[in-house]
Copies of this chain bind each other. A is one copy, B any other.
Amino acid sequence: MALIVHKYGGTSMGSTERIRQVAKRVAKWARAGHQMVVVPSAMSGETNRLLGLAKEVSPEKATAQTMRELDMIAATGEQVSVGLLSLALQAEGLPAVSYSGWQVPIKTDSAYTKARIASIDDARVRAELAAGKVVIITGFQGIDGDGHITTLGRGGSDTSAVAVAAAMKAAECLIYTDVDGVYTTDPRIVPEARRLATVSFEEMLEMASLGSKVLQIRSVEFAGKYRVPLRVLSSFTPWDNPIAEESVSGTLITFEEGLNMEQAVVSGIAFNRDEAKVTLMRVPDKPGIAYQILGAVAEANIDVDVIVQNVSHDGKTDFSFTVHRNDYARTMDLLKTQVAPPLGAGEVIGDPKICKVSIVGIGMRSHAGVAAKMFRTLSEEGINIQMITTSEIKTSVVIDEKYMELAVRALHRAFDLEAPQAV
């Protein structure tokens, strides 16, 4: 008997048949006596279809004004979903009601297409729950201070669900998706990859930002900030599985350090092959250089991931960073024509065929030699490391793309991730 938030992704909502399955699963939880709030995504493919139409009428670069309209258009995908899910629940004999973000309201800032949630008013939702209804709330969207519709960006429904769970002080937020939890690494690369029963909030944050697509990173940040117990689990198990079984399946994201004390040093191997590397050679090493380079890149709306600058020789240093592979050509052009000449830098070189591989684990904080073990493992496989960055709980290397699978498999073995997880 608790207040539970369920979130269902686009694939889980992918057809009317799937939506009926979701309704049956939610009804099972409601009939067990729980107060249920459900946050569904748009039906899979719908957001792309809508933005495709927008692109057809407005092929030009987005402006603040066009982004407002993109949000107006894209927000309809989830509105259809909540209405359909409410109908499906009613067809199951359960009272249900749907709400758009603006109706709750979920208040956001005015950063169209990537708004951030400012506050959620829980009064209306609580009143509907008290009246015995399942409440279904659109993911991905809200309303700004001037009454305009905003969206939270790709994957924003995860964030909506966690934010609603936080506002409602829900006992748990269950993210139903097309994978059955968080794995030590991608099972398509390493067949021995193992599902983690628990993962710490900090590790999940690193894994999310490292390209593990299970959860939107902002939803993890939100869960951390408001201590929302978050579980990732599969929506493709039979809907009538016992709740007792379902509520311990998948992966629980935990916040109590204690829970992880006996955990393996490294929890998982993340990787990302969407990146490209660029280097400005022999840049004069003086204050303000990093800003002069990356300021120009940021102005061109290019997101930078890894940044590496090493010590200088003869007053010159090499400055490297990675960008999304789609931005590679544009970045190279920008550096060559606008950044390098005024700086008096040397050659601009780049490589789009790289990948980033990271080991993530909260145990790295207290264990020396973890990074060294990573480097030794890669060395034994004859893999050259091009860049290295580290944080408290992860170490990332940039290597040649062709070695990615080899590196992930070797690291997975070296850190004993095939072994059953200690709890």
Contact = CB atoms under 8 A, between A and B. Distances in A.
A87 B102 contact: no
Contacts of A414: none
A82 interface: yes
Given A58-B90, A83-B70, A83-B73, A95 B65 contact: yes
A317 interface: no
A49 to B, nearest CB: 10
A69 interface: yes
Contact of A19 (B20, B57, B65, B79): B57
Nearest to A124: B147
Given A58-B90, A147-B103, A80 B98 contact: no
A194 B86 CA distance: 49
A167 interface: no
Interface string A129-148: 00000000000000000011
B65 A90 contact: yes
A60 interface: yes
A84 interface: yes
Interface string A54-85: 10111110010110111011011001101111
A50 interface: yes
> A19, A54, A58, A84: which has the most chain B beta carbons within 10 Å?
A58
A312 interface: no
Contacts of A87: 54, 57-58, 66, 69-70, 73
B66 A72 contact: no
A91 interface: yes
A16 interface: yes
Contacts of A70: 83, 87
A76 B84 CA distance: 12
Interface in A19-60: 19-20, 23, 50, 53-54, 56-60
Interface string A78-117: 0110111111101100010110101100000000000000
A83 B70 CA distance: 7
A82 B90 contact: no
Nearest to A143: B103
Contacts of A73: 79-80, 83-84, 87
A88 to B, nearest CB: 4
> A68, A72, A80, A102: which has the most chain B beta carbons within 10 Å?
A72
A72 B98 contact: yes
Contacts of A59: 91
A401 B84 CA distance: 40
A247 B281 CA distance: 66
A181 B356 CA distance: 65
B97 A58 contact: no
A69 B86 contact: yes
A330 B69 CA distance: 46
Given A54-B87, A65-B95, A76-B76, 4 more contacts: A65-B97, A66-B87, A100-B149, A102-B102
Interface of A: 16, 19-20, 23, 50, 53-54, 56-60, 63, 65-66, 68-70, 72-73, 75-76, 79-80, 82-88, 90-91, 95, 97-98, 100, 102-103, 147-149
14 contacts: A16-B56, A16-B57, A20-B57, A50-B80, A53-B80, A57-B85, A59-B91, A63-B90, A65-B95, A69-B90, A72-B100, A73-B87, A79-B79, A103-B147
Of all A-B residue pairs in the complex, the 10 with the closest CB atoms, nearest first, are: A73-B83, A76-B76, A16-B56, A58-B87, A72-B83, A57-B88, A69-B83, A69-B86, A58-B91, A16-B57
